[in-house]
Structure 1
Amino acid sequence: MQRGSFQWMKSLNKAIILNKIRTSEPISRAQIAKETKLTPPTVGTIVKELLEQQLIQESSLGESQGGRKPTMLAVNTSGFHIIGIDVGLSTIQFIVADLSGKIIDEQEESLIMNVTEEEFLTIVMNGIQKLIDKQSDLKYIGIGVAMHGIVDAEKGVAEFAPNLKLRNIPIKEKLEEVFEMDVKVENDAKAFALGEAWFLQQLEQKSMIAVNIGRGIGAGIVIDGKLYNGEHGIAGEIGHMIIDIHGRKCSCGNNGCLQTLASGPAIVTRTLEVLEENSDSLLYHWKKEQELTAELVHQAALEEDQLARQILRETGNYIGIALANVVHVYNPSTIIIGGGVSKAGEFILHPIQEVLKHSVISEKAKATAVSISRLGEYGSSLGAVALILSELFEPEMTDH
């Protein structure tokens, strides 16, 4: 196993060329020079370095422009690997992926109740080590961590993980010290958004927002392929957008946040409130045998239960109201919805689109593309991989 930092990558011209190859492959040296406005000797020198470092490879021959056929270049996606980590509520998902996002292996570790900071970091390190041991012949260039709660991405510190009741966990510092690799840490919803942008070729979209709806609700804003964090790092906290000022109290202390209306637990709460007067619903009978969950509400909707369909339609309406606000403030080209609640698919997607059609003021923006994530259960862990990729292929770094 080889590991290490990619500080050797961090020169502006090298990053520009690598990114040009990634976005335009297969591409010739001459075409790179023409499109980046770098001189052919500079391109030749850097391409030689990238080939030696095995980050790119020579592929087929291109069309002749009158002389010899040029050798085409492409990213060597299987030359290096990245470990992506998604810290969930009760489990941590670990994946090993290549530079194209293809998952090579995965591992899951359970989180214990009332975990201490030291125990948490040990569980994370053990999971990483198990994967490295299993895939010992691979070359690793980094570790990405998608963490719930408030994250200082620059320092790689989990400032507050409410579900774990932990504060100021020095994830980056600890993992870099032990594994001697670059480590990036980000909020899970923001990582998920970056993963959507990278792996589903949304980077050509000037702006997109990916909303993660599960036990909580968060979003990531991507502008020109870069995560937008805002002045104090809370950009995308749409779960705490206030939808109903007379609504239920949220964990944040405000009333009527989107999270109190459209998250998985909120769907259950709203269903229980009306279940007694809906004794003909499947859910009324299922509740006697098992604990009611948002998944059961979806299951009942699939079986044409009218109450379940009404609850999911209302959920879509609430999400739609929040997204109409987002469209008015930020006007993204694409909105992607992921997380457990997104499994309800058309039951929530149709009402979301209807609300946007009726509430958004611009004719063009009324038709803002809204879709369900295709990354599935790997959304945040692939997002964690994308944290490292976005640094590796970063085309706008200052020269070191």
Structure 2
Amino acid sequence: MTTKWQTGSFQLMKSMNRSLILNIIRQKEPISRAEIAKLTKLTPPTVSNLVKELLQTGIIIERTLGESSGGRKPTLLTLNGENFHVIGLDVGSKDIKVIITTLSCKLLKKKCFPIPESINNDKLLELIIDSIHSIKSSEEIDEKKIIGIGVAMHGIVDPEKGESVFAPNLNLHHIPIKAVLEKEFDMIVKVENDARTMSLGELWFGNGMSSESFVCINVGRGIGAGIVINGKLFHGNHSISGEIGHMMIDVNGPKCPCGNYGCLQTFSSGPAIAEGVKKLLRLGHSSLIEELAENNLDKINAELIYDAAKKGDQLCTTALQQAGYYLGIGLTNLIHLINPAQIIIGGGVSNAHEFVIEGVRKTVSQKALTESAKNTEIIISKFGADATVIGAVALILVELFSSKSAA
């Protein structure tokens, strides 16, 4: 269990002015108290008192003396990121990925736990709890330094309640993740949709750091989007913004698990790519993937298709390019609706970016309305398949460093 010192310490650090000072130190370190007062417009005595309190928690430390402009040399302040740790989880449809990092997102430990095919709410919560206990009790981890847990969950999430409203790939409803984990671990827990979590990680640590407005696309077993506008996550009225995977591309297309037909994820998600290849093989087409799958269609998945494409297999290469084409149609619609400065693509399918991204960009360049829209920057996530779990860590950092929560 977390000590009361830790819980109290987090609450002490988390207040509007303390968070404001912490974020200035994070962004501008090393920095003097006088410069903090100037940037925050707080009075020097107020800054001095708040800095004193933050020094007592250990989250900031005093460093070597700075340059003097005439009087006594100022003492500079820096973030003591190594002294505090955050746990992040990515709860997918097949496994739970869990990491522990420093406040600067330096990876300390990473583990992965498979999710059984037969699962219910209680069993999933038990697995999540076990995965957290496993990583925090690792020999090289100091449990006393852990200050929070961020959870990225696929599907519909109520971030205020910290509840998974509907996890479609697991067919589970109303999982009280936040309540259960806070009771078990006695520390702050934040829960968010996986695509929005991914976009938060890019905003804090990745390719979104230079852009105030962008969209992050998570392409894996499903397809979701995290929308950042003016540096803030956009949730929508009922927290279902970004469900781009259920944007209908072809009303006569394949049936989607959501019940509609021709959704984007029936063309460009990992399972859709695999199903398309299997269909061609059943029709008599030949491919290297048959050998890689040991002539067992059930073994064919997006990862194996990517392996075959890298070996020069034309059928698998075309399948990935076709997925990129349809994803490009979805992103063209997104550009026309939101007009983001940047689109960042992550998730498992992004690992095959050398085959997918060309089709995406080509489609956007052909179908977008204006020349500037045609040239919308479309790039791959800095973190690849780990983008979501990195974002889960950022959920706690937003709570700690932002005077007004970005999530």
2:206 equivalent in structure 1: 200
Q: 1:185/1:161 Cα in 2 relative to 1: closer, same or farther (>3 Å)?
A: same
Amino acid at match of 1:213: V
> How far did residue 238 of structure 1 move?
0.5
Looking at structure 1, the residues matched to 377 and 186 of structure 2 have their Cα atoms a distance apart, in angstroms, of 41
2:263 equivalent in structure 1: 257
> How far did residue 106 of structure 1 move?
2.6
Question: Tell me, what secondary structure is at the counterpart of 1:245?
Answer: coil
2:152 equivalent in structure 1: 146
Question: Deviations for 1:69-103, whole angstroms, at most 9, x for unmatched residues?
Answer: 32222211112111111112232122111101112
1:396 equivalent in structure 2: 404
> How far did residue 234 of structure 1 move?
0.6
1:343 equivalent in structure 2: 351
1:69 equivalent in structure 2: 73
Amino acid at match of 2:205: F
Q: 1:185/1:68 Cα in 2 relative to 1: closer, same or farther (>3 Å)?
A: same
Looking at structure 1, the residues matched to 363 and 152 of structure 2 have their Cα atoms a distance apart, in angstroms, of 31
Q: 1:63/1:333 Cα in 2 relative to 1: closer, same or farther (>3 Å)?
A: farther
Q: 1:201/1:312 Cα in 2 relative to 1: closer, same or farther (>3 Å)?
A: closer
1:185 equivalent in structure 2: 191
1:84 equivalent in structure 2: 88
Q: 2:7 aligns with which of 4, 7, 12?
A: 4
Looking at structure 1, the residues matched to 67 and 207 of structure 2 have their Cα atoms a distance apart, in angstroms, of 26
Looking at structure 1, the residues matched to 291 and 133 of structure 2 have their Cα atoms a distance apart, in angstroms, of 46
> How far did residue 46 of structure 1 move?
1.2
Q: Which moved more, 1:343-352 or 1:52-61?
A: 52-61
2:333 equivalent in structure 1: 325
Looking at structure 2, the residues matched to 181 and 287 of structure 1 have their Cα atoms a distance apart, in angstroms, of 45
Question: Tell me, what secondary structure is at the counterpart of 1:227?
Answer: strand
Looking at structure 2, the residues matched to 367 and 60 of structure 1 have their Cα atoms a distance apart, in angstroms, of 46
Gaps of 5+ in 1: none
Contact 2:207 2:382 in 1 (8 A): no
Q: 1:59/1:331 Cα in 2 relative to 1: closer, same or farther (>3 Å)?
A: farther
Q: 1:391/1:323 Cα in 2 relative to 1: closer, same or farther (>3 Å)?
A: same
Q: Which moved more, 1:181-190 or 1:128-137?
A: 128-137
Matched, 1:33 2:41: no
Amino acid at match of 1:177: K
Q: 1:102/1:34 Cα in 2 relative to 1: closer, same or farther (>3 Å)?
A: same
2:63 equivalent in structure 1: 59
Looking at structure 2, the residues matched to 223 and 201 of structure 1 have their Cα atoms a distance apart, in angstroms, of 15
Amino acid at match of 2:200: L
Contact 2:207 2:344 in 1 (8 A): no
Looking at structure 1, the residues matched to 64 and 359 of structure 2 have their Cα atoms a distance apart, in angstroms, of 48
Q: Which moved more, 1:280-289 or 1:8-17?
A: 280-289
Q: 1:123/1:274 Cα in 2 relative to 1: closer, same or farther (>3 Å)?
A: closer
Q: Which moved more, 1:263-272 or 1:219-228?
A: 219-228
Question: Tell me, what secondary structure is at the counterpart of 2:82?
Answer: coil
> How far did residue 286 of structure 1 move?
4.6
Question: Tell me, what secondary structure is at the counterpart of 1:249?
Answer: coil
User: Which residues of 2 match residues 377-392 of structure 1 at below 5 A?
Assistant: 377-392=385-400
Question: Tell me, what secondary structure is at the counterpart of 2:81?
Answer: coil
Amino acid at match of 2:353: G
Contact 1:203 1:225 in 2 (8 A): no
1:95 equivalent in structure 2: 99
Q: Which moved more, 1:118-127 or 1:107-116?
A: 107-116
> Structure 2-normalised TM-score?
0.91
Amino acid at match of 2:330: A
Question: Tell me, what secondary structure is at the counterpart of 1:246?
Answer: coil
Q: 1:206/1:215 Cα in 2 relative to 1: closer, same or farther (>3 Å)?
A: same
Contact 1:333 1:369 in 2 (8 A): yes
Contact 1:4 1:142 in 2 (8 A): no
Question: Deviations for 1:95-141, whole angstroms, at most 9, x for unmatched residues?
Answer: 11110111212333332332232222222222222223222454121
> How far did residue 306 of structure 1 move?
2.2
Amino acid at match of 1:269: E
1:305 equivalent in structure 2: 313
Q: Aligned pairs, how many?
A: 397
Superposition CA RMSD, Å? 2.0
Gaps of 5+ in 2: none
Identity %: 49
Looking at structure 1, the residues matched to 130 and 123 of structure 2 have their Cα atoms a distance apart, in angstroms, of 10
Looking at structure 2, the residues matched to 316 and 13 of structure 1 have their Cα atoms a distance apart, in angstroms, of 46
Contact 1:221 1:227 in 2 (8 A): yes
Matched, 1:216 2:222: yes
Contact 1:4 1:140 in 2 (8 A): no
Looking at structure 2, the residues matched to 137 and 391 of structure 1 have their Cα atoms a distance apart, in angstroms, of 20
> How far did residue 68 of structure 1 move?
3.2
Contact 1:191 1:220 in 2 (8 A): yes
